[in-house]
């Protein structure tokens, strides 16, 4: 495994963790939140 791939895995897992930490509380409080819709749209748009 080369360093570049390792960095991508670490960054990817950190982004996923951050996404869960931010969105899970919002989702529990307000499942129809515009914040989550906007976030999902931005991910799919990339």
Residue-number span of the structural domain to which 21 is assigned: 3-45
Q: How confident is the model at residue 4, as a pLDDT?
A: 93
pLDDT in tens, 18-39: 888 887 887 777 767 777 778 7
Q: pTM for the full model?
A: 0.44
DSSP 8-state code for residue 18 = H
Quote the tokens at residue 44: 């799919």
Return the exposure string of 17-46: e unless at least 16 CB atoms fall within 10 Å of the residue's CB, then b. eeeeeeeeeeeeeeeeeeeeeeeeeeeeee
Contact (Cβ atoms closer than 8 angstroms) between residue 37 and residue 45:
no
Distance CA 15, CA 9 (A): 10
Q: How many domains does the chain have?
A: 1
């Amino acid at each position: 495994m080369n360093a570049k791939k390792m960095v991508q895995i670490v960054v990817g897992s950190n982004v996923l963790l951050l996404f869960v930490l931010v969105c899970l509380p919002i989702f529990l409080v307000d499942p129809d939140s515009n914040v989550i819709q906007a976030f999902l749209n931005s991910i799919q748009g990339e």
